[in-house]
Amino acid sequence: MTPERFQRINEMLDQRQPDLTVCMEGVHKNHNLAAVVRTCDAIGVSDVHAVWKNEQMRVSGGSAAGSQNWIDVHNYSSTKDAISKLKEQNMQVLVTNLSDTAVDFREVDYTKPTAIILGQEKFGASETALEMADQDIIIPMVGMVQSLNVSVACAVVLYEAQRQRQLAGMYDTPSIDEERRQRFLFEGGHPIFAKACKRKGLPYPAIDEEGHIVASDQWWQKMQMTQESWEELDQ
């Protein structure tokens, strides 16, 4: 890992917002999925939650290609489980929905731990999501259309959240935990070794203050051996 890449990854991680997230409820179109994750990365969101109605559409957790290399994806089979998990983290749960109690999305305090529910492209958020959400929000529109594309709506709300958090200085103080920082530094700075660790079942080593791998001689020996060989070595 070059010093420049090490600095770039650390700068990115310093601005991550672990208590700001989105939950895609049944969003299934690939271009929308990709756009939401890309926006989350740009805003500094570190986690994306997703409820899948079709198991074949399920996105693998952890890291994947592109922007998902830098975001953890958490998968659920039910909306209730997803929102319950978010509320366990003391997050206010928002959902875009035109109702008598809905407020302009800009009136919400996004400096609080916040989760934004993104409903399915055609039908929107489910009844379960609407019942469990803490607040309905609306994006004002004065044209003939009544709703925005789900990924566009996501970007509009998240950039308001970013604006508020920047004014509050929340991007100035790192809040990501050290364990996650170490994982992203290793996977992003040493991807070949990271893939080998996953393939062989080896734990990730530590990354020092210059971006170098800190590992024992035994770890390096196992990295160069087949899994079967180093399992015999441990016996």
Residues at the annotated binding site for S-adenosyl-L-methionine? Answer: 96, 139, 148
Q: Tokens 């790192």 correspond to what residue? A: 174
Q: Tokens 């986690």 correspond to what residue? A: 47
Compute the radius of gyration of the chain from its Cα atoms: 20
Helix 178-189 to helix 3-14 angle (10° resolution) is: 140
Assign 3-class secondary structure to 138-153. ECCCCCCCCCCCHHHH
What stretches of 134-216 show up as alpha helix (H) in DSSP?
A: 150-167, 178-189, 191-200
- Widest CA span in the chain: 71
Collect all residues with Cβ–Cβ distance below 8 Å to 205 and sequence separation of at least 6.
186, 213, 214, 215, 219
Residue numbers belonging to the annotated binding site: 96, 139, 148
Distance (Å, whole) CA 96 – CA 117:
7
Q: Kindly report the number of other CB atoms within 10 A of residue 89's CB atom.
A: 12
Write the DSSP symbol of residue 45. Answer: B
Residue 234, H or E segment: helix 227-234
